[in-house]
Amino acid sequence: MKRKNQISKAPLLYTTLARWALLCAFQQAHGQGTMYLSNLGEATFGYAAGYGFQSFQTGTAATGYILNSVTLAMGNWDGNASNFVVAVYHDGGGQPGPLLGALSGSNDPETAGLYIYTASGLTLNPGTIYWIVANSDLILPPPPPQPPFGGYFWKFTASPNYTSSDGWSLIPSANGYFMQLALDGASVPEPRALGLIPLGVVVILASRGSRKTRRVASRQSIPTIDNWHSGFR
């Protein structure tokens, strides 16, 4: 009897372990959001009118990073602007270079507050400099000329302090200021983590098939009424 119970519990144990491995693999594959950089808590010193850009350097994860979102601290606008656009650029030797990808979010941040711009499928290499560039229809592509009167106001700080994770860093501008933002992302999962997903699925499906077979076999072994009565004839 003891051996029979152990045998019946084994597939359940395998299924539980497979589901646990599958959950871990999915978590690694999709990545857990991490705030890699933020200086939103620092005192605002001024505003960039109409346009703005901030460079940063990614951390040390060998597989690279997936950018989830960028949060900008904006002030009340001064009019004379439209179609506010936020994008990520490669480094072009100390200034924004080729475009990596545009972000999705409000194109009319008139009221002061925090505005989140989300990324879709933007992968960042480790230890690499990138630029966050905010622009509008009244400004030419970066590097911009003198801004016109008015525009959207992106806050900046004179404080060099910011919170960082995994070796990420903000790079000061030529005048020593930092645009106020936060970067959220996740490290790219390792290939071995992705390999656990199909393995977990196979184990779970095999376990379900095994349980189904045992149920059919157990139903076939139950004596019928006729067979039960035949023992008394």
Residues shown for the chain: 233
CA nearest neighbour of 184 among 102, 87, 119, 115: 119
Amino acid letter, residue 195: G
Return the SS3 of 49. Answer: strand
Angle at 108 between CA 69 and CA 186, to 5 degrees: 0
Q: Model pTM greater than 0.75?
A: no
Q: What is the pLDDT along the chain (233 residues), one digit of tens a residue?
A: 545 444 455 555 555 554 544 444 444 444 468 999 999 999 999 999 878 999 999 999 999 999 999 999 999 988 878 899 999 999 999 999 999 999 999 999 999 999 999 998 899 999 999 999 999 875 444 455 554 456 899 999 999 999 999 999 999 998 999 999 999 999 998 775 444 444 444 444 555 555 555 554 555 544 443 443 444 34
* Structure-block tokens of residue 146: 């003198």
Which architecture characterizes domain 32-187 according to CATH? Sandwich (2.60)
Give the whole-angstrom CA distance, residue 160 versus residue 171: 9
